[in-house]
Structure 1
Amino acid sequence: MKKIGIITIHSDLNYGAFLQAFALTSFLRKNGYDASIIDYRKIPNHPRLYKFPLNIIYKLYNLPRLYRYRSFISPMLSKYRYNSLKELSSFNEEYDLLITGSDQIWNPLCGGLGKLNPAYFLAFAPNNRYKKIAYGSSVGSYIFNKEEQIQVKQWLNDFTHLSTRELAGSQQLESFLHRKVKVVLDPTLLIDKEEWLKYSKKCTITEKYVLVYYIDELDEVVSYARKIADYYGWKVALITNMAKKHPNVDIKIPHCGPAQFLWLFDKAEYIVTNSFHGTAFAINFNKDFISVIKRNSPQRAQTLLNNVGLPERLLTNIEDVDKLPSHINYDEPNKKLNELRQDSISYLLNAIEN
């Protein structure tokens, strides 16, 4: 049995990051590999820089959510924990190969250092000891400068297989690496709805609701949800870690862990999100949804929606809600998603075995 180490963004309190890390590890284990996540704890992308006593209050408020996150992912983690690049430099674990990905690990704005993070390019691992693969590694909307291109090319030179989640990212990397960079599905889409729901846990919501899952620009996303909820007579439910209640939200859901996140997506009447992973789960769970465009980083959602034949679900104007059909016919999108899933699975397993 091959032993595989995965390095990715898994320590931020972010549902997408956690679930993509969980998905890739779970998929590999289900396919007969001894896979685990290398427990490298980077600096959070957006740390809450509260002063005393607000920093203590914030940490205490989020303890239930932190516990749910940690308990969900802990069975997937490696034996050793690495809190810095210095600690990672002594890496000597017994893996047959290493995978970097998925998520925006190659985006300097997301790597925890404010610059390229060598950990996510497996720079800590000796080339003569470990086979290296990139699966679904994303640069987001970031454009490498010439100096960064030289460094990235040096780090990726010894990878046997390279892949990313977005067409734009693939094209950018191919332009200076001069080698094929395949576009694959995010790991969360390697697992179907039925498998995901095995890990879900019920929340105490009895009313019909439009679920809001956002990354930023909350007011805009909620305005879309409010319009849909008012039309159908539903409630607006918001996944949030904020103590303050939003005036246009009926149900605030704090302390939500990944297992509760899955249940909320499954039971929602409609989903409004500006998150790539929110869009991915809405499609995977065959939900009616709107993906509100993230103007600073639309590439990820655009690639996915175009590939499954649902580009019209990405909206830039609230007035366009009225132009959408009331329900999504998933016959064709499911067919395309299954084809993409099989292609991505074949690519990943072939990369490991060959």
Structure 2
Amino acid sequence: MKKIGVITIHSDYNYGAFLQAYALIYILRKNGYFAEIIDYRKIPNHPRNDSFPLNIIIKLLNHKREQRYNTFIKPMVGVHTYRTLNEIMNNFKENYDILISGSDQIWNPRCGGLVNKLNPAYFLAFVSNKRCKKISYASSIGSYQFNKDEQNQIKRWLSEYTAISTREQSGKEQLSTFINKEIQVTLDPTLLLTKDEWLEQAKPYKIKAKYVLVYYMVEIDEVLEYARKIADLNQWKVALITNHIKRHPLVDINIRNCGPAEFITLFYNAEYIVTNSFHGTAFSVNFNKNFISIFKKDSPQRAQSFLNSIGLSHRLIKNIQQIDSLEKYIDYKDANIKLQELRNNSFQFLKNAINQ
């Protein structure tokens, strides 16, 4: 059996990061491969720098949520932990047959933990291709534009890859300007799993009222205005996934301390979803929910590319007035057919890359 190591962003306490990391290992194991996450703990994208005693209070408040995160991902992670770039670059221990640089924005210098620098670990530079095969699955650049020096570095690193795929069309197009290799666009790993496969991982989180679920990355006031309008039109509550104790004036229900397994349940049980997150959009579609994806000004490419590919680009909206022109219920018939085709093609890319 081929032994596969996946490097991705899995140690930030972010639902999308954890769920995409989990999903890729799940789908590989389900199809008969030995696979695990390489436990490289990069510096978080947005580390907190709270002073004492606030840092202790924050840690205590987040303990339950972090515990749920860690419990969820632990079965997918390898035994060796690398806490610095130096450790993984100079002391990599495992003997894998194949290495995969996984999904999420691992190729975006703003997300790799090195403060606006490319992270060589996410380009598998810690091991030679003479030692194992190197593959990229749905690696994302986000909205970042590489400069000439970065292009030269990437060109050198990716020359050792036998197969390359990105998560967005824009990423493929940018890499194709300086990489002389075939590049395929593949689905985010969360979309490789069906609704039923995700529900097997879910844990209860009961909310008695019917609710519009809000999952946001930035610009909370704007996102909540959209949700409030939809909730008021339907006499629903606004439920917000948040780490904050204080409730926003536009919110009826604060959802605190939920882990990835509870996150799945919250999406599945929602009447409607309002999000400006790519993974919020992905789970909305996978669960066939009525939703709007709000145009994320600094990085719209991820949701845009995905929704275009399944014929739901009109669900990505830029102003609140567009709500009035949207159909009340989304007809998912064609979108589901397209999603299944993309799912099949994406897994076939992965299978071919591993076995070739």
Please state which band the TM-score falls in when normalised by the shorter chain: over 0.9
Whole-angstrom CA distance in 1 between matches of 2:186 and 2:94? 28
Q: Secondary structure at the match of 1:99?
A: strand
Q: Secondary structure at the match of 2:6?
A: strand
Aligned partner of 2:103 in structure 1 is 102
Normalised to the residue count of structure 1, the TM-score between the two structures is 0.99
Q: Quick check: 1:291 aligned with 2:293?
A: yes
Please tell me the residue identity of whatever aligns with 1:48.
Answer: R
Aligned partner of 2:122 in structure 1 is 120
Aligned partner of 1:44 in structure 2 is 44
Q: Quick check: 1:21 aligned with 2:12?
A: no
Q: Secondary structure at the match of 2:163?
A: coil
Aligned partner of 1:279 in structure 2 is 281
Alpha-carbon deviation of 1:128? 0.8
Aligned partner of 1:351 in structure 2 is 353
Alpha-carbon deviation of 1:172? 0.2
Note the alpha carbon deviations across 1:152-184, whole angstroms, 9 max, x for none.
111111100000011111000010012221100
Identity of aligned residues (%): 62
Note the alpha carbon deviations across 1:224-254, whole angstroms, 9 max, x for none.
0000000000000000011221110000000
Asked if structure 1 preserves the Cα contact closer than 8 Å seen for 2:137 and 2:350, the reply is yes
Note the alpha carbon deviations across 1:259-318, whole angstroms, 9 max, x for none.
000000000000000000000000000000000010110000000000000000000000
Aligned partner of 1:67 in structure 2 is 67
Aligned partner of 2:252 in structure 1 is 250
Q: Which moved more, 1:237-246 or 1:26-35?
A: 237-246
Aligned partner of 2:212 in structure 1 is 210
Q: Quick check: 1:228 aligned with 2:214?
A: no
Whole-angstrom CA distance in 1 between matches of 2:82 and 2:317? 41
Whole-angstrom CA distance in 1 between matches of 2:245 and 2:253? 13
Q: Which moved more, 1:267-276 or 1:172-181?
A: 172-181
Alpha-carbon deviation of 1:92? 2.5
Aligned partner of 1:152 in structure 2 is 154
Identify the match of residue 139 of structure 1 among 138, 141, 163: 141
Asked if structure 1 preserves the Cα contact closer than 8 Å seen for 2:245 and 2:254, the reply is no
Alpha-carbon deviation of 1:51? 1.1
Q: Secondary structure at the match of 1:72?
A: helix
Whole-angstrom CA distance in 2 between matches of 1:72 and 1:254? 17
Whole-angstrom CA distance in 1 between matches of 2:176 and 2:127? 23
Q: Secondary structure at the match of 2:100?
A: strand
Alpha-carbon deviation of 1:52? 1.1
Q: Supply the RMSD in Å over aligned alpha carbons.
A: 0.6
Please tell me the residue identity of whatever aligns with 1:300.
Answer: R
Note the alpha carbon deviations across 1:78-113, whole angstroms, 9 max, x for none.
010000111112113121100001000000000000
Asked if structure 1 preserves the Cα contact closer than 8 Å seen for 2:165 and 2:186, the reply is yes
Whole-angstrom CA distance in 2 between matches of 1:177 and 1:45? 27
Whole-angstrom CA distance in 2 between matches of 1:204 and 1:298? 32
Aligned partner of 1:92 in structure 2 is 93
Spell out the pairing of 1:68-83 with structure 2 (5 A cutoff).
Answer: 68-83=68-83
Provide structure 1 residue ranges, at least 5 long, that are not aligned to the other structure. Answer: none
Please tell me the residue identity of whatever aligns with 1:26.
Answer: Y
Q: Secondary structure at the match of 2:60?
A: helix
Whole-angstrom CA distance in 2 between matches of 1:228 and 1:159? 47
Provide structure 2 residue ranges, at least 5 long, that are not aligned to the other structure. Answer: none
Whole-angstrom CA distance in 2 between matches of 1:271 and 1:227? 12
Aligned partner of 2:264 in structure 1 is 262
Whole-angstrom CA distance in 1 between matches of 2:54 and 2:294? 32
Please tell me the residue identity of whatever aligns with 2:336.
Answer: N
Aligned partner of 1:180 in structure 2 is 182
Note the alpha carbon deviations across 1:309-349, whole angstroms, 9 max, x for none.
00000000001000000000000000000010000011100
Whole-angstrom CA distance in 2 between matches of 1:52 and 1:125? 40
Q: Which moved more, 1:241-250 or 1:65-74?
A: 241-250
Whole-angstrom CA distance in 2 between matches of 1:99 and 1:79? 17
Q: Secondary structure at the match of 1:81?
A: strand
- Equivalenced residues, count: 354
Please tell me the residue identity of whatever aligns with 1:68.
Answer: R
Normalised to the residue count of structure 2, the TM-score between the two structures is 0.99
Whole-angstrom CA distance in 2 between matches of 1:272 and 1:49? 30
Asked if structure 1 preserves the Cα contact closer than 8 Å seen for 2:138 and 2:188, the reply is yes
Alpha-carbon deviation of 1:204? 2.3
